[in-house]
Structure 1
Amino acid sequence: MASDRHDDLEELDEDPVPEIVVEEIKPERKPINFKPILIGLLVLVLGGGLGGVAYLFTAFETRDLIGLMDVGENPPTLSFELPGRGEPPKPGSGAGLLTPPVAPGAAPPSGEMLKAVPDDTPSPDSLPPAIAPDKPALPPAEAAPGAKPAATATVPPEGGYVAEPESPVSKAFAPKPPPAVDSSGIPTQPNPRSAEKPPSYEGLPAFKGEVKALPAAPVKEMLKKTAIGDLPVPSPDGKQPWQVYARPWSGPADRGKVAVVVMDMGLDKVATEAAIAKLPPEVTLAFSPYAQGLDKWVKKARDFGHEVMMVLPADSGGSQPRDPGPLGMTDTMPPESNLARLEGVMSRGAGYTGVISLGDRFAASEQMVQTLGKLREHGLLYVGPGAAPADRTPALSPVTAVADADLFREAIEMRLNQASIAARTKGKALVVIHPRPLSYDRLLPWLNDFDGQKLVIVPVSTLVQPPPAPGKS
Structure 2
Amino acid sequence: MTGRSLAKPLYIAVGTLAVLMISVFIWLMLAHDPDAGQPKVVIDIERSDRLTTGSIQAPGPVAGLPTAPDTRSLPDRISPALPPAPAPSLVEAGRYGPLPRVSQGEKPLFAYARPLSREQVNSPLPKIALVIAGIGGDPHVPMVVLDRLPADITLAVPSSARDAQGWIDRAREKGHEVLLELPMEPAAFSEAGLSRRPILADAAEHDIVDDMHWHLSRASGYFAAANPSRSRYRSNAEALRTIFRELGQRGLGFIEITPGTAAARQVATSMGLDYAGVDLVVDANPTGTRIEAALDRLVDVAQRNGFAMASATATPTTIERLSAWLDKVNGREAVVVPASAALLMPRNGWK
- Asked if the contact 1:315/1:323 (under 8 Å) is kept, the reply is no
For the residue of structure 2 that corresponds to 1:339, the secondary structure is helix
Cα 1:307–1:389, aligned 2, differ >3 Å: closer, same or farther? closer
Question: Once superposed, what is the RMSD of the aligned Cα atoms?
Answer: 2.4
Contact between 1:211 and 1:281, CA under 8 Å: does it hold in 2? no
| Equivalent in the alignment of 2:127 | 257
Cα deviation per residue 1:420-473 (whole Å; 9 max; x = unaligned)? 111111111111111111101111122122257531111111122569xxxxxx
Count of residues in correspondence between the two structures: 258
Mapping for residues 291-440 of structure 1, pairs under 5 Å: 291-317=161-187, 321-323=191-193, 325-357=195-227, 358-366=229-237, 367-384=239-256, 385=260, 386-387=264-265, 388=267, 390=269, 392-440=271-319
Other-structure match for 1:221: 89
Structure 2 stretches lacking a partner, 5+ long: 1-77, 347-351
1:249-292 deviation line (CA, Å, top 9, x unaligned) = 12134221111111111121211111112211111111111212
Calculate the TM-score normalised by the size of structure 1: 0.51
Q: Which residue of 2 aligns with 1:446?
A: 325
Q: Higher relative contact order by CA 8 Å / sep ≥ 6: 1 or 2?
A: 2
What secondary structure sits across from 1:265 in the alignment?
coil
| Alpha-carbon distance between aligned partners in 1 of 2:222 and 2:271, rounded to the nearest angstrom | 20
2:138, 2:331 → 1: CA distance? 34
Deviations, residues 1-48 of structure 1 (Å, cap 9, x unaligned)? xxxxxxxxxxxxxxxxxxxxxxxxxxxxxxxxxxxxxxxxxxxxxxxx
Larger Rg: 1
Distance 1:360 1:256, change over 3 A: farther
Q: SS of the residue aligned with 2:129?
A: strand
Deviation string, structure 1 residues 388-432 (Cα, Å, up to 9, x no partner): 154523211111111111221232222211111111111111111
| Gap change, CA 1:231 and 1:319, over 3 Å in 2 | closer
AA partner of residue 311 (structure 1): E
By percentage of residues, which structure has more helix? 2
1:329–1:362 Cα contact (<8 Å) kept: no
How do residues 73-92 of structure 1 correspond to structure 2 at under 5 angstroms?
none
Distance in 2 (alpha carbons) for counterparts of 1:405 and 1:319: 20
Separation in 2 of the partners of 1:224 and 1:359? 31
After superposition, where does 1:125-144 map in structure 2 within 5 Å? none
1:247 aligns with 2:109: no
Residues in 2 aligned to 1:451 and 1:290: alpha-carbon distance in whole angstroms: 33
For the 8 Å contact 2:183–2:196, the answer to whether it is kept is no
Residue 39 of structure 1 is matched in structure 2 by none
2:286 counterpart SS class: coil
Change (3 A) 1:369 1:324: farther
3-state SS in 1 of match to 2:127: strand
Of 210-219 and 239-248, more deviation after overlay is shown by: 210-219
Q: CA deviation at 1:375?
A: 0.7
Percent identity (aligned): 25
Which segments of 5 or more consecutive residues in structure 1 lack a partner in the other structure?
Answer: 1-209, 468-473
